[in-house]
Amino acid sequence: MFQPVRSGLASLTNSVLQSLGVSDNAASIVLPCCKQVVLCLVDGLGAQLLNRYAHRAPYLSSLVNRGEGQILHSGFPSTTAASLASLATAEDSGSHGIVGAAFNVEAWQFNPLSWQLFDPRTGRLEAAAACAEKIVASQSAWVKAAAGGLLINAFLPAAIAGSAYTRTVFNGAKVIAFTDPDDLMARFRSVSGCNDRQLSYVYFGELDLCGHLHGPGSGKWQDTLEDIDQRIRSLRDQIEQDAVLIVTADHGMTTVDDARTFDFDLMPDLQRGVASICGDIRARHVYLQDPTDADAVKRWREVLAGHFEVLTREQALALGLFGKNVTDAACRRIGDLLVIAGDGAGLVRSIREPFQTSWMGHHGALSDEEQLVPLIIATGR
């Protein structure tokens, strides 16, 4: 049975803010006191992947070999929307409320990265729909730190810099959009070291996309890792000698086997009694027509036995998968069933989600490949 997993990114934020002198919260990660932290987050870079392809990331690997590398758990679910919210709020998913790559809110299915509502039965976008409840429940740790005098710059690709997710989750930061690697370097140089206390967050999203489309460890994935490694080294060359560089990730990535892939859209036994299903292919929320339907729970466990752990909402909460403190709103968003994949398993929807079904790389669940992410802390040059 699974063990509780706290978000390592939430813990990291508490430690970063304490090192910058703007937080008294308990810090489980030891960082030196400093005036500037540059936090690079590489979407989808699992610790095991970095170790396996260390030869394609010579700069990051050199820091690990110098003893500056550690390991974090990404938390559950191991997916971008939840993990980045944990980074900004310093809370687990059950506290901030983003409990998956998609989940039900009121009468709708909500996708946090696109910040859109869908009809949970048909999957149709409901552009005119609006939900009354607040999506992100907890106050951002970044907001509190900014109020205490910390300058936070968030360097994000232009395509996502103005999104509703960015505006909501990264509230408290000055968002700086960049269009390409050269533009990132120019914008980073223009603000680096211009404030007494400063946190610079730099997001690299290409590796995750490449892993989804071509597979983690593929040739294109390795080329992308090498390029990001070089860019992080260039960023390090731009910051002050006494600044701290941190490199981490929001989750890792794994693959699924055809023999262990189940297609919900083609399986009447699974469809029976289900109102809607959403989330990552390896971490699904299942909402039942009758939440007390014990036969549905039994049926799901029998069909998926040996490949998935099927938990009721109550079991997931008791295990602490969403953290110790789960708000009432977050609790309502969690599926009646949580379907969490084992090694090589996936629950796809070939008709409703053809694009995601075609992916080569996946995450969301609790395997070490998905959960373990690097934490590289470098001081000096």
The pLDDT-based confidence of 195 (bands split at 50, 70, 90) is low
d(CA 127, CA 125): 6
165 and 31 share one domain: yes
234 and 314 share one domain: no
For the cut 80, the answer to whether the pLDDT of residue 316 exceeds it is yes
For the cut 80, the answer to whether the pLDDT of residue 69 exceeds it is no
In a domain, 34, yes or no: yes
Mean pLDDT for the stretch of residues 52-77: 92
219 and 353 share one domain: no
Mean pLDDT for the stretch of residues 143-165: 95
Number of C-beta neighbours around residue 234 at 10 A: 14
For the cut 80, the answer to whether the pLDDT of residue 310 exceeds it is yes
**346-348 and 261-263 beta bridge pairing:** parallel
For the cut 90, the answer to whether the pLDDT of residue 179 exceeds it is yes
Which CATH number do you get for residue 279? Answer: 3.30.1360.180
- Average pLDDT of the chain is 94
In a domain, 3, yes or no: no
The pLDDT-based confidence of 107 (bands split at 50, 70, 90) is confident
In a domain, 263, yes or no: yes
In a domain, 2, yes or no: no
- Give residue 45's domain range: 8-118+127-255+367-379
128-138 in b/e burial notation, b at 16+ Cβ within 10 A?
A: eeeeeeebbbb
Total-model pTM: 0.95
The per-residue pLDDT for range 353-381, each reduced to its tens digit, is 999 999 999 999 999 999 999 999 998 65
Which CATH number do you get for residue 44? Answer: 3.40.720.10
The per-residue pLDDT for range 262-292, each reduced to its tens digit, is 999 999 999 999 999 999 999 999 999 999 9
Mean pLDDT for the stretch of residues 220-243: 94
Q: How many domains does the chain have?
A: 2
47 and 163 share one domain: yes
The percent of residues in the chain predicted with pLDDT above 70, rounded, is 97
202 and 170 share one domain: yes
- pLDDT (0 to 100) of residue 193: 66
182 and 290 share one domain: no
For the cut 80, the answer to whether the pLDDT of residue 341 exceeds it is yes
305-342 in b/e burial notation, b at 16+ Cβ within 10 A?
A: eebbbbbbbebbbebbbbbeebbebbbebbbbbbbbbe
208 and 104 share one domain: yes
